[in-house]
Amino acid sequence: MLTVALPKGRLMDKALELFDRAKIIETTNYGESRKLIIEDNKADLRYILAKPTDVPTYVEYGVADIGIVGKDVLKENKRAVYELLDLGIGKCQMIVAVKSGSGFNKVQELGFSAKVASKYPNCTTEYFRSHGIQAEIIKLNGSIELAPIVGLADAIVDITETGRTIAENGLEIIAEVFPISARLIANQVSYKIHYHSLREMVKALEEVI
């Protein structure tokens, strides 16, 4: 039996729907339950419902053989796992945004003492360094859009799907950091041990993406 770490929330429903279409499972009715471990004997799968940011951790340590998680989480916390497939769901963008009318049009204009707020300090550091800017990173845990408005930061690095929340909070996007979508990941040893069934799964998923 393979153990799958799934991210609780919207992405999980989309992922299960994809698994259903690829005929890996038959039902998508797992979201209703409050259980954290669900067994699907028919498909010979066991699900661990985890916080999205914890999915790669479960997979790296091998308590889950495979997992589904956004590229943002993988980039922020580099984990030694196989990244088998871009599932093409949960698409969004990691972006840099500033207060509308602040006059900043490019990240380079933020200068060398830029203050940047983000839930993703590692991605933020890497992005600004690659542009030659030693930004001061302010780690926040939510409502990132607030930071430039109240004067905590000059810019934010955050995820957006449509850009609406950004615009509604009086911010504008000045750069795209990287595109995000959900990935199928696998534990390094599980991948080798269950190689054939996992390659079959990848093939089946590739056909419905």
**Per-residue mark of binding to another protein, 164-183 (x: CB under 8 A):** -------------------x
Q: Is there binding between residue 188 and another protein (CB under 8 A)?
A: yes
The span from the CA of 209 to the CA of 202, in Å, is 10
Distance CA 80, CA 30 (A): 28
Instruction: Compute the distance between CA of residue 10 and CA of residue 122 in angstroms, rounded to an integer.
Output: 24
Q: Which stretch binds another protein (CB under 8 A): 7-15, 16-24, 83-91, 135-143?
A: 83-91
As measured in angstroms, the least distance from the Cβ of 114 to another protein is 27
Size of the site for another protein (CB under 8 A): 20
Per CB under 8 A, the segment of 56-64, 105-113, 119-127, 131-139 that binds another protein is 56-64
Q: How far apart are CA 150 and CA 43, in angstroms?
A: 51
| Contact flag: residue 62 with another protein (CB under 8 A) | yes
Report the distance separating Cα 56 and Cα 62, nearest Å.
10
3-state SS record for 123-158: HHHHHHHHCCCCCEEEECCCCCCHHHHCCCCCEEEE
Angle 195-208/10-21 helices, nearest 10 degrees? 100
List 25, 64, 84, 95, residue binding another protein (CB under 8 A): 84
For residues 17 and 31, give the distance between their C-alpha atoms in angstroms, rounded to a whole number. Answer: 11
Q: Which residue, 61 or 112, is less far from another protein as judged by CB? A: 61
User: In the numeric block, which tokens belong to residue 129?
Assistant: 């360094």
Listed ranges 13-21, 26-34, 144-152, 193-201: which one lies at the site for another protein (CB under 8 A): 193-201
- In the list 10, 106, 139, 199, the residue contacting another protein (rule: CB under 8 A) is 199
Question: Does residue number 189 form part of the binding site for another protein (CB under 8 A)?
Answer: yes
Is 129 one of the binding residues for another protein (CB under 8 A)? no
Q: What is the amino acid identity at position 199?
A: R
Q: Which residues of this protein are in contact with another protein, per CB under 8 A? A: 60-62, 80-86, 183-184, 187-189, 191-193, 195, 199
